[in-house]
Structure 1
Amino acid sequence: MREEIYNFWHMCDSAFPLNVIMSGISYCDKNYRIERHGEELYSFEYIIDGNGVLEINSQTLYPQKNDVYILTPNSDHLYYSSEDHPWTKIWIVFKGDLAEYLFKRYLPADTYIIKDCNILSYMNEIINISSARDKSYSELIDEVSVMLLKIVLHVKNHLEHKMLSAAEQIKLCLDVNIENRLDMNDVSTQLGYSKNYIIKLFRETYGITPYAYFRKHKIELAKQYLLNTHLNINEISVKLNFADQHYFSSTFRAVVGISPSEYRRGKNKTASQTIPSSSNSC
């Protein structure tokens, strides 16, 4: 059995809305077995590979590859790996008012396992944050809080849309990441489908490639920022995670036919021309 563990229990401060107790990766063996009773802790544990058993509050569950299981405060729980195919899992243990709020606001009560819910990219980022040597505990808490919110929302959306087709799952992934920098490798990692399968299925279903769809809708969002905010071109470029302002402008021109500046000037001119003059009012 081998584990990579990052321990922060000695840094916990009740003044923080969230405290991270531990995070890590466990390469379990047949002897792996954890039992707790009534502790004030939350935990997300994502199964990278393998099988095992979770007994929690009179439920017996069988987390396996690509599943998430959740441990909640005051629960009686016991979990252990199978003998023939033990878990490899990545996990975080935490507590605090923010954790309580997120769980009560977004997740159904008494939900302890989410099947086929890939949160590996978020969990890997938590491990990266945990292992950084140049961060204060306060900085770590801020960054982990953001990742936990993303996990909770991902799990919530997964539970609400678990009946979506594969094509609909791909579209949802593109839509919720519209302000982010995203490529097909990211989508493949999040959904567990191959990149070629994603491109083929999406084109067959929607008549457009995922890349073209994502670019088109990102530019539609850029139009809204140009029309309805005072953000300059570079700020919009940064907000939408383009590589730089030049790439944003060239992409915008390729989709719309004019530059972002020309689009903003043209729409503002049209709007001003439609405002009636007050000097001749009756």
Structure 2
Amino acid sequence: MNEKIFSFWHLYNPKLPFNLLMTGISYCDKNYRIERNGENILSFEYIIDGSGVLEINGTKCFPQKNDVYILTKNSRHCYYSSEDDPWVKIWVVFNGEFAEDMFRSYIPPETYHITNCNILSYMKEIIYLASQKNISYIQLADEVSVIVHRIILQIKNHIENKPLSIPEQIKLYLDLNIENIVDISDISRLLGYSKNYIIKLFKDHYGITPYNYFRQHKIELAKQYLLNSSLNISEISEKLHFADQHYFANCFKSIVGVSPSRFRKNNSSHYL
């Protein structure tokens, strides 16, 4: 049994909306077994290879290669690896009100096992961030919370298991790239439709252009960073890929009605 573990339990802060507690990779053997009874944790575990058993809240599942299993807050659970084909798995453990809100919003109750749902790239990104020595714990928690949100969106879409309409595909692309720079030509090339047709389909379906939707949701995420992180306004502007801090402040005020600094000051009781 070999494991590579990054533990942050000693940095846990109950005032933060999201805490990263542990993350790692486990190369299990036939003796691998974990049992918990009602702990305040949430977890995603992605099976890179092998098979095993999860027993949680009276439900028995059999996660195998390319599956995800979820450990929910205060659950009674036990999981163990197959003797003949032990797990290799990558996992993350976290908690906090923000994490709980995401679960309530996107993942149906009593969802514990999602088959054939590849989240490996996201999990590797979390491991990479956890290994970095030059970022603070609060910054790490902020970064991982965004990745967890992306994982939850992917799981939600996978669970629904229905073909997405073109407007829904556009929306999903925008949601998954909310921190990046996105040009409508990128979506046009991805879906194989003209830019004008993309804009028309999206506006007909959602009542707003892709550009305005993307900008509004960037500002919504900026509000979360202002309320729930220690990032300064310049860092938030850079993180969300606005052209510069001045443009970010203007966009923010045009949508929210006040400047980012005034918004943070007016709502300072939300953070620490």
Q: Can you list the C-alpha shifts for 1:174-213, whole angstroms capped at 9, x where unaligned?
A: 763355689xxxxxxxxxxxxxxxxxxxxxxxxxx97572
Task: Give 2:118's aligned residue.
Answer: 118
Q: 1:74, CA displacement in angstroms?
A: 1.4
TM-score normalised by L of structure 2: 0.65
Task: Give 2:70's aligned residue.
Answer: 70
- Amino acid corresponding to residue 23 of structure 1 in structure 2: T
2: CA distance, partners of 1:210 / 1:111:
35
Q: SS where residue 34 of structure 1 aligns?
A: strand
**CA pair 129-52 structure 1, distance change in 2 beyond 3 A:** same
Task: Give 1:156's aligned residue.
Answer: 156
2: CA distance, partners of 1:239 / 1:93:
24
2: CA distance, partners of 1:169 / 1:2:
44
2: CA distance, partners of 1:27 / 1:169:
40
TM-score normalised by L of structure 1: 0.63
Q: Does 1:213 align with 2:189?
A: no
**CA pair 138-82 structure 1, distance change in 2 beyond 3 A:** same
2: CA distance, partners of 1:175 / 1:59:
34
Q: SS where residue 177 of structure 1 aligns?
A: helix
Moved more, 168-177 or 34-43: 168-177
Q: SS where residue 30 of structure 1 aligns?
A: coil
- Amino acid corresponding to residue 157 of structure 2 in structure 1: N
- Of 170, 173, 180, 1:177 maps to 173
Aligned pairs for 1:48-197 within 5 A? 48-160=48-160, 162-164=161-163, 176-177=172-173
**CA pair 90-2 structure 1, distance change in 2 beyond 3 A:** same
2: CA distance, partners of 1:111 / 1:4:
27
- Amino acid corresponding to residue 29 of structure 1 in structure 2: D
**CA pair 30-141 structure 1, distance change in 2 beyond 3 A:** same
Aligned residues of 1:218 and 1:240 also touching (Cα < 8 A): no
2: CA distance, partners of 1:175 / 1:43:
27
Listed as ranges, the gaps of 5+ residues in structure 1 are 183-208, 230-237, 242-282
1: CA distance, partners of 2:66 / 2:151:
14
Task: Give 1:36's aligned residue.
Answer: 36
1: CA distance, partners of 2:94 / 2:105:
17
- The structure number with the bigger radius of gyration is 1
Q: SS where residue 142 of structure 1 aligns?
A: helix
Listed as ranges, the gaps of 5+ residues in structure 2 are 183-187, 203-208, 216-237, 242-272
- Amino acid corresponding to residue 86 of structure 1 in structure 2: P
RCO greater where, 1 or 2, for CA within 8 Å and sep 6 or more?
Answer: 2
Identity of matched residues, %? 52
Aligned residues of 1:174 and 1:214 also touching (Cα < 8 A): no
1: CA distance, partners of 2:130 / 2:165:
30
2: CA distance, partners of 1:19 / 1:32:
26
CA root-mean-square deviation: 3.3
2: CA distance, partners of 1:214 / 1:84:
49
- Amino acid corresponding to residue 133 of structure 1 in structure 2: K
